[in-house]
Amino acid sequence: MAKILVTGGAGYIGSHTTLLLLEAGYEVVVIDNLSNSSLESLRRVEQITDKRVTFYKVDLREENKINDIFTEHEIESVVHFAGLKAVGESTEIPLDYYEQNVYGTLSLLKVMERNNCFNIVFSSSATVYGDPASVPITEDFPISATNPYGRTKLFIEEILRDLSVSNDKWRIVLLRYFNPIGAHESGLIGEDPQGIPNNLMPFVSQVAVGKRDKLSVFGNDYDTVDGTGVRDYIHVVDLSDAHVKSVEKIKEFEGVSTFNLGTGNGYSVLQMIDAFIKETGKPVPFSIEPRRPGDIAECWADASLANQKLDWKAERGLSEMIKDTWRWQNQNPNGYDN
């Protein structure tokens, strides 16, 4: 079976995708510098699947070491997750974001080209739609960036489009994720944010488990169903499944293919809190605070293109997303640091 290189495979989405790739019968080689993850995630993937992962602790920017890995393994396709992802932090240390995300990707692409590996699935983000003029969002909406993190995604997308023009061997899949939440149903792997979580669901579950006193709801004066922000939350296992489908179909595609990955449903912050309390029976104290700078009112996907071309659709609803988030949080109150 073909070998797949997963960059950032010890991270949240990378570990779930590695698991599904192994279950689908692929051999998986993971590279990760472990800057935002722990090797324990991959140990647990091995435990769940009873299969082995080949792991290298290496940084994307270490071009020679990555080249050695391509020499050692015949890699058919790359699934590229590795990078920094905190929007707020990216405004404070933009150069780190450009270096790790953009330069790191350039280093990877050069090695791929040198080793005749031309298939890549890239983690893009709905953040490239900026503040969309309307919802649901289709892939042909104009793209823009409102912060350095988003701009790295935008630049990498453009670089990949330029690359596809330079050589028609390239098969590039850009996956634009909406809001990934949830965890594997085993409760053994999940999202393990370092420090104070930036995203809504990790924060809510840390409040519910007693690690934080209360949630701040950022604004209740948006033009939405109840004034709070509306997003398209998608189960991480559904999201990961779209990567397996992309790897399966990538050779049928030409040039660059772009897909939204969402459910097509939007939920407000207050609806998420209500649903969480209903599913878990845990209280989630919160207070209404000012808007978070840079946030948009609402955002959800039209994911019909992924349905047509990848034969993929999100299967898991909100209740499953919340139950799985909670199982992971409750069984691992300190993440992988137990």
Residues near ligand WQD (CB under 6 A) are 85, 87, 125, 127, 179, 198-200, 203, 215-218, 229, 231, 269, 292, 295
Cβ(260)–Cβ(301) under 8 Å?
yes
Name the one range near ligand NAD by CB under 6 A: 54-62, 182-190, 291-299, 311-319. Answer: 54-62
14 binds, among ligand WQD, ligand NAD, none (CB under 5 to 8 A by kind): ligand NAD
Q: 25 vs 19, 237, 244, CA distance in Å?
A: 10, 17, 11
Q: Which amino acid is at 108?
A: L
| DSSP-assigned letter for residue 251 | G
Out of 13, 28, 120, 306, the only residue in the binding site for ligand NAD (CB under 6 A) is 13
**Residue 298: count of CB within 10 angstroms of its CB:** 20
Q: Is the peptide bond before 136 cis (omega within 30 degrees of 0)?
A: yes
Closest-CB residue for ligand WQD? Answer: 229
Helices 318-331, 269-280: inter-axial angle, 10-degree rounding: 60
CB of 206 to ligand WQD, least distance (A): 10
> Per CB under 6 A, which of residues 134..173 are in contact with ligand NAD?
none
Name the one range near ligand NAD by CB under 6 A: 55-63, 206-214, 309-317, 330-338. Answer: 55-63
| DSSP-assigned letter for residue 126 | G
Judged by CB, which is closer to ligand NAD: 117, or 251?
117
Judged by CB, which is closer to ligand NAD: 61, or 212?
61
CB of 43 to ligand WQD, least distance (A): 26
CB of 32 to ligand WQD, least distance (A): 18
| C-alpha span between 198 and 89 (Å, rounded) | 10
130 binds, among ligand NAD, ligand WQD, none (CB under 5 to 8 A by kind): none
| Binding pattern for the stretch 89-128 against ligand NAD, x by CB under 6 A and - elsewhere | -----------x---x------------------x-x---
Cβ(13)–Cβ(180) under 8 Å?
yes
Q: 18 vs 10, 49, 56, 209, 334, CA distance in Å?
A: 9, 10, 14, 28, 22
8 near ligand NAD, judged by CB under 6 A: yes
330 binds, among ligand NAD, ligand WQD, none (CB under 5 to 8 A by kind): none
83 near ligand NAD, judged by CB under 6 A: yes
For 112-224, strand residue ranges (E) read 119-125, 171-177, 179-181, 215-218
**Residue 139: count of CB within 10 angstroms of its CB:** 18
* Active-site annotation holds for 267: no
Output the six-digit token pair for 88.
């707020």
Q: 122 vs 45, 203, 214, 256, CA distance in Å?
A: 22, 27, 35, 11
What residues contact residue 220 under an 8 Å CB cut-off, 6+ apart? 226, 227, 228, 270, 288
18 binds, among ligand NAD, ligand WQD, none (CB under 5 to 8 A by kind): none
32 near ligand NAD, judged by CB under 6 A: yes
233 near ligand NAD, judged by CB under 6 A: no
Name the one range near ligand NAD by CB under 6 A: 30-38, 43-51, 267-275, 307-315. Answer: 30-38
Q: Which residues are catalytic?
A: 149
Binding site for ligand NAD (CB under 6 A): 8, 10-14, 32-37, 59-61, 81-85, 100, 104, 123, 125, 177, 180
